Structures are given as C-alpha cells and as structure tokens.
Amino acid sequence: MALELARDSLVERLRRYKRVRPSRITVVFDGASKAGFGRGQSQEKGIRVIFSGQGETADTAIKRMCAQEGKNLTVVTSDRALARAVSSAGAVAIDVEEFEARLEMALSLEAKGEDGEEGRDKGERAVGTLKKGPSKRPCKSERRRQDRLRKV
C-alpha cells in the first residue's frame, strides 16, 4: 500500500511539473516482483506509466526503450550502470538529485504563477540559477547533453 501511495505521489508531482515544463513524461516501474501482474502501460494524469513484465526489471525496459528511441530520451536515474547503458544508446542520463532540483524549481514557479513571470516588467529577463564558470568551452558531447537538459 505504501508503495502505491509513493507511486501516486510521484505521478502527481510529475503532472504538476509537466504543467510548467511541457514534455512527454514516461515513468517505468518494476512490475516483475508482483505475482500475476503482467507487463502493462497506462496514461495517468497525462503521464505515461509503464510496468515491466514478469521476469523483466524496469532497468531492462528502460534499456529497450533507449535502444528504440535513444536520441530522443532523457532518463532520470541514480543507477550508474543504467546511466552508462542509456548514454551508450544515445539518450541523456541525469541524476535523480539534479532532476529533483529542477522539479522543485518548477513547482515553486507553479506556486508563484503559471510561468513565473509574476512581478517582473516586460523588459526584464529571468535570472538563471546557473553560475558562469571558467570560459573554457565544454566538449561537443557535453554541449549536446546541456542542450537536451535545458528542454527538460
């Protein structure tokens, strides 16, 4: 029961995130551990939810998705082995803590107003949270990764 509540809470937070940062979001959960619970997918609150099949882990399902749609995916994971596999398939992997920070920022913008523009003159631009560092240009793969992450 607690696991179902945690899943529902995650889907709700992602739904709120999607209102601020529109993008296709898919969540993959392990379904293999539940006896008689087969592979399946559904749409909940605008979020695609996938349960891995019997004898398959969520990691395996994610790797399969990356093999099919690699360059179009961004995967949030704290599993280093999965992050390497995802990156080698052409997808971008970001750490859970990094995504959590983005999620919290988006949810705080939602609380202030739909687009976070409240209280600003039209000529003013938003102040970013990213600090400028050394003027050294990142490598091409890192620039591609950063471009993809800006869209998340």
Reported as a single tens digit per residue, the pLDDT across 63-78 is: 999 999 878 899 999 9
Q: Give the chain as a 3 state SS string.
A: CHHHHHHHHHHHHHHHHHHHCCCCCEEEECCCCCCCCCCEEEEECCEEEEECCCCCCHHHHHHHHHHHHHHHCEEECCCHHHHHHHHHCCCEEECHHHHHHHHHHHHHHHHHCCCCCCCCCCCCCCCCCCCCCCCCCCCHHHHHHHHHHHCC
Please tell me which residue, 127 or 86, carries the higher pLDDT value: 86
pTM for the predicted model, two decimal places: 0.67
pLDDT for the residue numbered 145: 81
Mean pLDDT of 56-69: 91
Q: Map out the domains of the chain as residue ranges.
A: 2-115+130-150
Please tell me which residue, 14 or 122, carries the higher pLDDT value: 14
Most confident of 44-53, 81-90, 141-150: 81-90
Q: Reply yes or no on whether the pLDDT at 109 is more than 50.
A: yes
Mean pLDDT of 12-37: 78
